[in-house]
């Protein structure tokens, strides 16, 4: 079975470019585990930049999304490059769609994919990929350490959830739709609904806490949030 990792784009591509140190740390943790992995990368700042460039030229939102998807695929390629240099058994091409990913997952221990179609996010891609390849576990790695009942950056009394059921997760994601633009909930609503309908166990951890990350991929307890 492949475990699906949803890897936030801003962790892959930082202000200082591709974070090869971080990607190598992840590679070592994954190599050590007994599992196989399908890694879905977000677009980070580059996605917003590419999308805005298209909008400035008069492009529509579909076209802006298409440009943003390019950034997600660049990040998937960065993962492939680091894992290949580390001699991991990774598919050398970025998987372009779910069908492609399903085929490559049969051949490789590691596969990497970015976005797929306009209108969704790589969280939803990761959830759909988990369904497509019958994965039972998804690990979301972002720059927040867990799921909270409100934005912890704005509310110092925000309550952190150690565990959640699917319906509470969906309620939290729906509620966040009314928040200010740019203040996205940690996992988008479509992704929440997909993991709920297939009962995929989801772990939410920070990329800065490698211990949590390692425990999450191995299905052990950690300081983030477990949804099941």
- Site of interaction with ligand UTP (CB under 6 A): 8-10, 42-44, 47, 51, 65, 68-69, 72, 115-123, 125, 142
Contact 76, 125 (CB under 8 A): no
Q: How far is the CB of 89 from ligand UTP (least distance, A)?
A: 25
Taking the C-alpha atoms of residue 122 and residue 118, their distance in angstroms, rounded to an integer, is: 10
**What pairs with residue 138 in β-bridges?**
4, 202
Among residues 69 and 130, whose Cβ is nearest to ligand UTP? 69
Task: Name the residue nearer to ligand UTP (CB basis): 14 or 32.
Answer: 14
Q: Cβ 35 to ligand UTP, closest distance in Å? A: 21
Tokens 């998804």 belong to residue: 138
Of 212, 46, 208, 190, the closest CA to residue 130 belongs to 190
SS3 content of the chain, % helix, strand, coil (to 5): 45, 20, 35
CB of 18 to ligand UTP, least distance (A): 14
The CB-of-73 to ligand UTP minimum distance in angstroms stands at 9
Q: How do beta strands 2-7 and 160-161 pair?
A: unpaired
- Cβ atoms of 227 and 166 closer than 8 Å: yes
- Taking CB atoms, the residue at the shortest distance from ligand UTP is 42
Instruction: For residues 65 and 189, give the distance between their C-alpha atoms in angstroms, rounded to a whole number.
Output: 18
Closer to ligand UTP by CB, 32 or 62: give it.
Answer: 62
> Quick one: 42 or 224, whose CB is closer to ligand UTP?
42
53 or 89: CB nearest ligand UTP: 53
Q: How far is the CB of 201 from ligand UTP (least distance, A)?
A: 19
């Amino acid at each position: 079975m492949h475990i699906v990792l949803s890897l936030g784009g801003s962790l892959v591509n930082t202000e200082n470019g591709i974070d090869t140190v971080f990607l190598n740390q992840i590679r070592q943790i994954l190599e050590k585990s007994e599992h196989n992995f399908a890694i879905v990368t977000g677009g980070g700042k580059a996605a917003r930049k590419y999308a805005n460039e298209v909008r400035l030229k008069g492009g529509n939102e579909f076209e802006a999304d298409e440009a943003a998807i390019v950034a997600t695929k660049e990040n998937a390629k960065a993962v492939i490059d680091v894992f290949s240099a580390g001699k991991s058994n990774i598919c050398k091409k970025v998987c372009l769609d779910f069908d492609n990913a399903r085929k490559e997952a049969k051949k490789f221990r590691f596969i990497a994919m970015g976005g797929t179609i306009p209108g969704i996010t790589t969280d939803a891609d990761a959830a759909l990929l988990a369904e497509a390849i019958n994965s039972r576990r998804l690990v979301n790695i972002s720059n927040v350490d867990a799921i909270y009942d409100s934005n912890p950056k704005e509310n110092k009394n925000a309550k952190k959830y150690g565990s959640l059921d699917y319906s509470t997760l969906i309620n939290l994601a729906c509620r966040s739709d009314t928040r200010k633009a740019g203040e996205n909930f940690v996992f988008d609503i479509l992704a929440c609904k997909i993991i709920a309908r297939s009962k995929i166990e989801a772990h939410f951890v920070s990329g800065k806490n490698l211990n949590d990350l390692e425990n999450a991929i191995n299905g052990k307890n950690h300081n983030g949030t477990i949804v099941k």
